[in-house]
Structure 1
Amino acid sequence: MAKLRIGTLERLKVIESSLGSRINRVRKRSFAIVQASLAAGLAYWVAQTIFGHASPFFAPITVVIILGLSGGDRIRRAAEISLGVTVGVGLGDFLVNYVGPGTWQISVIVAVSLLVASMLSSSVLVSNQVAIGAIIIATIMPPGTAGGGTERMFDAFIGSVIGLVTIALLPASPLNSGRREVSKLLGIASSVLDDVAVALEKQEVKELDEAIMAVHNTQAGIADMIAAAKGGREVSKLSPMMWDSRWRVRSLERILPSVEQLLGDIRVLARRARVLCEDGDQVTIRLINIIDELADITASLSDYFDGLADETQTAEIPALVRRLQVLAASTDMSVVKDDGVLSEYVLLAQARSVTVHLLVVCGWSEESATAALPPTSATPAYPYERWPGIIEDD
């Protein structure tokens, strides 16, 4: 327990504001920047040179929008964007011819555009693109300017096609984004577990307040993690060059529920630790050491997922699994004092659950992970499996 520690929120702020973090963020986005730049230039060239459009404004714009989409269903959403921009441009040309430009005219154009879009599709994306396309026509590219009429509609279609072809032929790694999101959430989980261990040892509530706030704010990160995995799955299906990554993508998707459940368990653990400290109760050193070890293992898993592009790092997983096996074997009821309070039992239960989820993240099935825990029932659903070489605490 003699580690240099800072609070969860301070730790996250230091990481986020560091120069190294910013450089790393730029490095990770460099491929997407190159991808969008090349595709936008290609779309402009195709529309202008091959099809003879004088000012193919909507071709590169549509490319950038499509490549900027995150998560899954990019093909469907690209079709929605293409439909929205095409209808919006055509509708804008038609309406401006009749009502002209101006303040009240914009209100009319937007209202009619959204009404037409709602009849075409229930998608908010389609509605937005129809309205945006019509507004652009009514303001900066009115009828009569170069590339008007059907040319603009066709430019949007060109941009949609090139955007999808770019995803297929110049694909980003289907795994990197999802791994980074998993790493980020595991890093927060580790930090919260670390703060809980310190608070239980020192009976300090302040750090627990910060830890609870940090773990409560992970819902957006969970959504980003799921969206990144869906995007990776789509890339692995769309791009022939990434077909051999499909099984890795499925493996990543399989652990996502456990990462989410892990954070839920840690929320409960942190809140219950706060109750215990407020009541002035104490836990055994063994329980504190279990939570501290969980924090350290979770931090190692976070580092592993952040740097998994190097496949040689897979050697780390067996070592982490072994540590989790040893830890699981030590989480029997003797960890709690004979006169232990309810909060102490809850902490042990949550620590056991966190151990199971970490084993699943390492590749185990939930059944096997649960069977690694010493039973607390006379008739456990999954009989305890004593692994060779594991020395249990007396």
Structure 2
Amino acid sequence: MPKRRIGTLERLRDIDDSLQARARRVFKRRLSVLQGALAAGSAYWVAQNIFGHEQPFFAPIAAVIILGLTGGERLKRAVELSLGCAVGVGLGDLLISFIGSGGWQIAVVVGVSLLVASFLSKAPLVSNQVAIGSILIATIMPPGSSDGFDRMFDALIGGVTAIIIIAIIPTSPLKAGRHEVSKVLGIVASVLEDVAIAIRERDTKALNEVLSAVRGTQQDINIMLAATKTGRESSTVSPLLWSEKRRVRSLERILTPVDNTIRNVRVLARRALVLTEDNDSVAEEQLLIIEELADIAHALAGVYERNTMVTEAIEIPELVQRLRGLGARAEISVAEGKVLSAQVVLAQSRSIIVDLLQVCGMSRESAVAVLAPTSDTPAFPPEVWEEDPLGDGEVE
């Protein structure tokens, strides 16, 4: 595998800010922009022309808020938005009628509204909308008028319109999630490459840089999880995507192994730093195992980026065979006679082998059984995977 200079991960970050990357980002979000524009316009038209609201400003606002949410909870958030509006308007109307409006009155109304919202729901969106509804009654909308309740109904119109737009103009339930999985696996590959080079060259400065960069990958993990949950929601709401449900579920199953992979890579990088700071070394075989893992992670990233079932059917079984070979090579004798840090590096390498096998579709039990045993009584003997190589983790 060709070596790359230290700083691969940092260069990946820099690419994200290039003009070309910005253009790609705009192109990638074109469908989301179309959804937002249509939902806002439709919500306003429905509220004004069908329900007779003169200035239904909150209908398009609610639609855009719902569409802008991530994490696959837009249906739930639409209900919370409407609930928050109803409670806020009702409390504001009731309290302002008794105590009047002004600075201290707004403080009282918002405080009471937030307490009630906290009792009704733990969702921040409910609390925010309750407070906003109360403030509107205290400042713009006179108590007892229908304006506040029109706003409450506008929120419902906006939420429903947003869900309808999601159903008739859905975003791909797989493309975004698979792209984020590919990005995280690409980071894994880059970090492993840099770690192997830094250990070989005993470059503590480079390892500090890699470790600093990899600590900032939690945002990428969160984006990956949110994108997949949003894809699941889209495939549930839109009849046009019901045929994708099975593949979305398959994608969801690998999220935990991908998350575990990046976590184990962080631990490996930290221990590699300790190793080099102590001026200790690992066996050459350990470095070869890490480099091979980097190459496999890079290949897996490509599989998920291309997003084709044909590619998966051809390439994943080959990667599984390579990981099996690594599992057999990563035996305890590789770090025999080495310091504790070297043994920890080996242990983390073994954990990453298991994680990547699970990303390829294996069950954890079958993946662990691939490893050369380090115990006289292993929970999952090596013979298991020879009989049932993919366990219950079907490759799709």
TM-score (norm 1): 0.88
Q: Which residues in structure 2 correspond to 1:35-184 (within 5 Å)?
A: 35-93=35-93, 102-139=102-139, 141-143=140-142, 148-184=147-183
Partner AA of 2:163 in structure 1: L
Report the Cα offset of residue 198 of structure 1.
0.8
Q: Distance in 2 between matches of 1:166 and 1:89?
A: 27
Report the Cα offset of residue 2 of structure 1.
5.2
Q: Distance in 1 between matches of 2:243 and 2:348?
A: 38
Q: Distance in 2 between matches of 1:344 and 1:124?
A: 46
Q: Distance in 2 between matches of 1:303 and 1:143?
A: 59
CA contact (8 A) 1:55 1:147 kept: no
Partner AA of 2:110 in structure 1: V
Cα gap change, 1:312/1:138 in structure 2, threshold over 3 Å: closer, same or farther?
A: farther
Report the Cα offset of residue 220 of structure 1.
3.5
Partner AA of 1:356 in structure 2: V
- Look up the match of 1:382: 380
Q: Distance in 1 between matches of 2:3 and 2:37?
A: 46
* SS class of match (1:165): helix
Q: Distance in 1 between matches of 2:137 and 2:198?
A: 60
- Look up the match of 2:391: none
Q: Which runs of 5+ in 2 are unaligned?
A: 388-396
Cα gap change, 1:187/1:133 in structure 2, threshold over 3 Å: closer, same or farther?
A: farther
Report the Cα offset of residue 84 of structure 1.
0.8
CA contact (8 A) 1:96 1:142 kept: no
Partner AA of 2:202 in structure 1: Q
Cα gap change, 1:152/1:317 in structure 2, threshold over 3 Å: closer, same or farther?
A: same
CA contact (8 A) 1:106 1:138 kept: yes
Q: Cα deviation per residue 1:110-166 (whole Å; 9 max; x = unaligned)? A: 223223323433432211111123334544x4339x982432222111112112222
Which of 349, 352, 361 does residue 350 from structure 2 map onto? 352
Report the Cα offset of residue 229 of structure 1.
2.6
- Look up the match of 2:334: 335
Q: Distance in 2 between matches of 1:320 and 1:19?
A: 35
CA contact (8 A) 1:266 1:354 kept: yes
- Look up the match of 1:364: 362
CA contact (8 A) 1:233 1:246 kept: yes
Measured on the aligned residues, the alpha-carbon RMSD in Å equals 2.7
Q: Which runs of 5+ in 1 are unaligned?
A: 389-394
Comparing 102-111 with 238-247, which one deviates more in the overlay? 102-111
Cα gap change, 1:148/1:295 in structure 2, threshold over 3 Å: closer, same or farther?
A: same
TM-score (norm 2): 0.88
What percentage of aligned pairs have identical amino acids?
55
Partner AA of 1:153 in structure 2: M
- Look up the match of 1:392: none
Q: Distance in 2 between matches of 1:263 and 1:91?
A: 47
* SS class of match (1:17): coil
- Look up the match of 1:391: none
* SS class of match (1:381): coil
Report the Cα offset of residue 387 of structure 1.
6.6
Q: How many residues align?
A: 385
Report the Cα offset of residue 358 of structure 1.
0.5
- Look up the match of 1:3: 3
* SS class of match (2:291): helix
Report the Cα offset of residue 65 of structure 1.
1.0
Cα gap change, 1:102/1:244 in structure 2, threshold over 3 Å: closer, same or farther?
A: same
Cα gap change, 1:2/1:134 in structure 2, threshold over 3 Å: closer, same or farther?
A: same
Report the Cα offset of residue 378 of structure 1.
3.0
Report the Cα offset of residue 98 of structure 1.
5.8
Partner AA of 1:223 in structure 2: N
* SS class of match (2:193): helix
